[in-house]
Structure 1
Amino acid sequence: MSTVAWITARGLFGRRRALLLLPLPLLLVGLAGLCRAYDVRPSDWGTPVLVGLGLAVLLPVVSLIVGTGVLGSEVDDGTIVHILTKPLPRRDIILAKLGVAVGVSAVTAAVPLFLAGWLADSVGLGLALAVASVVGAFAYSSLFLLLSLLTRRPVLLGLVYILVWEGLLGRFVSGTRVLSIEQYVITIADKITPTALLESKVSLPVAVVMGGIFVVGCAIYSVDRLRSFSMAGETS
């Protein structure tokens, strides 16, 4: 299991895809730093930067890039056969891949969100955003890893979920928020450190329970889906 995780991490950072992880964190911290340097009131920029860019774009996009990359490329080029021939339970393969995806996504999102939250308000808000982003990384990574096993266009479907379901419907159609990972993250951060910069639209129990369902449900489905792959890397 640790060998699979190591190979996955090495392959992920050995591709150009890893370079796509840098611009958004730098942009988030840069914007927060500029606003703080020019004494712009946090009430004027905090929500657009922390939520609009950080939680609604940085966290899900980074998770999408990493979550679809840890296994999707192996499915596409057929090299997954090398993993499937190993005497490893499919559960261990998925957990190893998911662990790498969550770890990379969480660090890439949590660090800049902590810095931006600190610049906007306080260390407390920064920590709240960091903790919430780790929870979000688990849910997003589980979802996007599953998509890489269900379709050959996981990035496209992931973008539809981020932009349409969360970005459009999640903001204007209240019934869709219960299936919005972004809303879970906002709620968790707001409950840890209440602030006017964050506006939670689902309750904490809903955020915790539904977040757990995303993680566990998608992970179990991913294991079951991987079991359906034949030795040629095709689904039977």
Structure 2
Amino acid sequence: MSTVAWITARGLFGRRRALLLLPLPVLLIGLATLCRAVGVAPADWGVPVLVGLGLAVVLPVISLIVGTGVLGSEVDDGTIVHILTKPLPRRDIILAKLGVAVGVSALSSAIPLFIAGWLADSVRFGLALAVAAVVGAFAYSALFLLLSLLTRRPVLLGLVYILVWEGLLGRFVSGTRVLSIEQYVITIADKIEPTALLESKVSLPVAAIMAAIFILGCAIASIDRLRSFSMAGETS
């Protein structure tokens, strides 16, 4: 399992898509630093920067890039067959891939969110955003890893989820918020450190339960899907 994780991490950072992880965190920290330096009140820039950019773009997009990359490329080019021939339980393969995806996504989003939250309010608020981002990284990564096994266009479907379901419907159709990972993240951060900069729209029990369902449900579905690859001899 550790070998699979090492190979996955090496392959992920060996591709050009790893460079896509840098601009968004740098932009988030840069905007927060600039607003703080010129004396703009956090009430004026906190929501658009922390929520509109940090939680609605940086966290899900980074998770999408990484989550679809840890296994999707191997499915596309057929090299997944080499993994499937190894005497490894499919569960271990998925957990190793998911672990790498969560680790990279969490570090790449939680650190800039912590810095931006600290600049906007306090260290405690920064920690609240970082903790919530880690939970979000788990849920997003599990979802996008599953999509990479279900379709040849996981990035496209992931963007539809982020931009349409969470970005559009999640803001105007209240019923869709129950299936919005972004809303779970906002609620968790707001409960850890209540602030006027965040407005939770689902309850904490709903956020916690639904996040767990996303993580466990998608992980189990991914394991089952990978088993069907080996049984049917699929390589794409």
Common fold by TM > 0.5: yes
**Structure 1 residue 220 corresponds to structure 2 residue 208:** no
**Structure 1 residue 38 corresponds to structure 2 residue 65:** no
Paired AA for residue 38 in structure 1:
V
Paired AA for residue 96 in structure 1:
A
Paired AA for residue 78 in structure 2:
G
Paired AA for residue 106 in structure 2:
A
Identity percentage of aligned residues: 86
The offset of 1:233, in angstroms, is 3.6
TM-score (normalizing by structure 1): 0.98
C-alpha contact (below 8 Å) 2:80/2:235 kept by paired residues = no
Q: What's 1:132 paired with? A: 132
Q: What's 1:234 paired with? A: 235
> What is the RMSD computed on CA atoms of the aligned residues?
0.9
Q: What's 1:199 paired with? A: 199
What SS is found at the alignment partner of 2:229? coil
Paired AA for residue 126 in structure 2:
G
C-alpha contact (below 8 Å) 2:79/2:235 kept by paired residues = no
The offset of 1:160, in angstroms, is 0.1
Q: What's 1:88 paired with? A: 88
Q: Distance in 2 between matches of 1:132 and 1:233?
A: 37
What SS is found at the alignment partner of 1:229? helix
What SS is found at the alignment partner of 1:76? helix
TM superposition outliers: structure 1 runs of 4+ over 6 Å: none
C-alpha contact (below 8 Å) 1:80/1:233 kept by paired residues = no
C-alpha contact (below 8 Å) 2:149/2:222 kept by paired residues = yes
| CA deviation string 1:74-112 (max 9, x = no partner) | 000000011100000000000000000000000000000
Paired AA for residue 98 in structure 1:
L
| CA deviation string 1:120-155 (max 9, x = no partner) | 000011000000000000000000000000000000
Q: Distance in 1 between matches of 2:128 and 2:88?
A: 37
User: In the TM superposition, what are the counterparts of 1:67-82 in structure 2 within 5 Å?
Assistant: 67-82=67-82
Paired AA for residue 20 in structure 1:
L
Q: What's 2:106 paired with? A: 106
Q: Distance in 1 between matches of 2:205 and 2:56?
A: 21
**Structure 1 residue 174 corresponds to structure 2 residue 174:** yes
The offset of 1:211, in angstroms, is 0.1
Q: Distance in 1 between matches of 2:138 and 2:25?
A: 18
Structure 2 gap ranges (5+): none
Q: Distance in 1 between matches of 2:82 and 2:103?
A: 24
Q: What's 1:12 paired with? A: 12
The offset of 1:234, in angstroms, is 3.3
C-alpha contact (below 8 Å) 2:81/2:235 kept by paired residues = no
Q: Distance in 1 between matches of 2:74 and 2:234?
A: 9
TM-score (normalizing by structure 2): 0.98
Paired AA for residue 41 in structure 1:
A
Structure 1 gap ranges (5+): none
The offset of 1:232, in angstroms, is 4.8
Q: Distance in 1 between matches of 2:61 and 2:109?
A: 10
